[in-house]
Structures are given as C-alpha cells and as structure tokens.
Amino acid sequence: MSVPSRIAIWLVLLMPVAAMAESLRVQLPERRVLSSSETESFESALIEQLAEALGRSGFSVVSADDAEVRLVAGDRVGPATYYHAVPAALSATEGELLAWSDLQGQTVCVNRASPYGALLSERFAAAPREYPSAAHALIGLKLGECAAVVEDDVLLTEIATLPEWRRYKHLLRSLFDAGWQLSLTVADDANLQQQINALLAQWSAEGRLAGLTQQWVDEVAFQAYVLADTLDCH
C-alpha cells in the first residue's frame, strides 16, 4: 500500500476522534442545585447528558470569560429553563416553628452560596449557617445545629415523606415569590443556543428532565441517609 493511501486511511480513522475531541465549556454556578456532596449535583449530571447529546466528548468547567454555556438564575421562564428553585423550610415534627416569621433569631441550615441565606437574614432576621451540600445541610438539622433547613421545595417535600425523617417532617409553605428560574444561556452562538433549547424542550416533553430531577432528589436523600448512618456509628 502506498504512503498516500496509508495517510488517507489514518485520516479517515482519526476524523471521528477529532470531531469528538472538543468538550463543552461550562461555567457552573457557585450554588449547586440538589447537591449530594461537595462535588456532585444535578447540574453536573444535566450538563454531562447535554454534552453527550450535542456530540461533545464531555464538559469542562471554566470561567465566565471562557464559557460557551453559563447556568444563570432569573425570575422568568424561558426556552432554556431547566429548573424552578422555590424555597421551603423543614423542621422538627414536634417543634414550635409554625410560620416563616418564627425563624427570627434562629440558626437555619442552608447549602453553600444559597440565595436563601440572604432571604433568611434580610426578610426573616434569621441566621443562615452554610454547609458543603444540600445533603450536609439536612444532616445539620438532625444534629441539632439549626432550627430548620431551607432548601428547594422539590427536595424537602420528598424528604418529609421518608420514614427516616419522621422526627423532622414539619414543612413551612413554599415561598413562590422568592423562587428562581434556572436557565442555560449561550453568549455568542445562536445555533448552539437553539440546539440547547430544542433538547430541553424535547426532554421536558418526554419526562426526561423531570426524571433527572427526581433522580437527584433521591440521590441527596440517600447521601443524607448515609451521612446520618455514619454519624450514628461514631
């Protein structure tokens, strides 16, 4: 076989690899939704699936200046909205917290960089205490480090139904006026934005987005259970 023929064959073999080589560059928010640990969260799983659907080799976390895709919070639903974050509060079943106003002067567990921290301090004069993840914040409640935990209602509503949380299943109503719409935005690539919008619309219609959300609600609940079990063993 001639040298040019060999080169041509190698180029053909390498083309798919080259096409798949570029990762999706993403800026992740400081506060991660449905975080089961310091590094694992709903957003990471969503972006991983998005990168695969776009034909990328994976994704890399970069700064805002280098990002193709940014995860941003706003107050309006759009075609690239992937999650609606609404604060709720969970406290002891036999406790004395009957309303959000009862949190005044109380220590409240929240996820790191949670916007609910400012909500608690400014609107209810409570003292937010940050934890590395939503799972850790839940355990802070069980350890008695706070009077309540404030997290997304989709998570706390599920937690309140679990038998291992029977002593902590009192829910304060969801504050829809303090909710956030989380979306994926692309700065300078209208085609990429359209692809993302189309994928999210398809996943929403198919129930795939709801399924992924539920998967991470379950994952946070499981990791909180593991953390609690570890503490009980010590």
Pair 102, 118 in one domain: yes
* Beta-bridge mates of residue 83: 182
Report the alpha-carbon distance of residue 130 to residue 117 in Å, rounded: 8
Residue 1 has what pLDDT? 55
What is the distance between the alpha carbons of residues 57 and 107, in angstroms, rounded to a whole number? 44
Strand residues in 86-166 grouped as ranges (E): 87-91, 107-111, 127-131, 148-152
What pLDDT band is residue 188 in, cutting at 50, 70 and 90?
Answer: confident
Extract the tokens encoding 29.
């928010």
Please indicate, yes or no, if residue 22 is contained in any of the structural domains: yes
| pLDDT beyond 50 at 8 | no
Q: Are residues 48 and 132 in the same domain?
A: no
User: What range defines the domain where residue 198 resides?
Assistant: 3-83+179-223
How far apart, in whole angstroms, are the C-alpha atoms of residue 229 and residue 114?
A: 26
Residue 231, pLDDT score: 65
Look at the block and give the residue holding tokens 């350890």. Answer: 143
Do residues 18 and 70 share a domain? yes
Q: Are residues 141 and 183 in the same domain?
A: no
Residue 125 is assigned to a structural domain of this protein: yes
Collapsing DSSP states into helix, strand and coil, what is residue 32? coil
Euclidean distance between CA atoms 163 and 24, whole angstroms: 40
Instruction: Locate 54 and state its tokens.
Output: 């776009």
The dihedral sign for the CA sequence 124, 37, 206, 20: positive
Please give the model's pTM, rounded to 2 decimal places: 0.86
Specify if 232 maps to a domain: no
CATH number for the domain that contains residue 104: 3.40.190.10
Average pLDDT value for the chain: 89
Residue 232: per-residue pLDDT:
55
Domain presence at residue 228 = no
Residues 59 and 102 in one domain: no
| Residue 230 is assigned to a structural domain of this protein | no
Give the chain's domain count.
Answer: 2
Quote the CA–CA distance of 164 and 144 in Å, as a whole number. Answer: 16
The three-state secondary structure class of 99 is coil
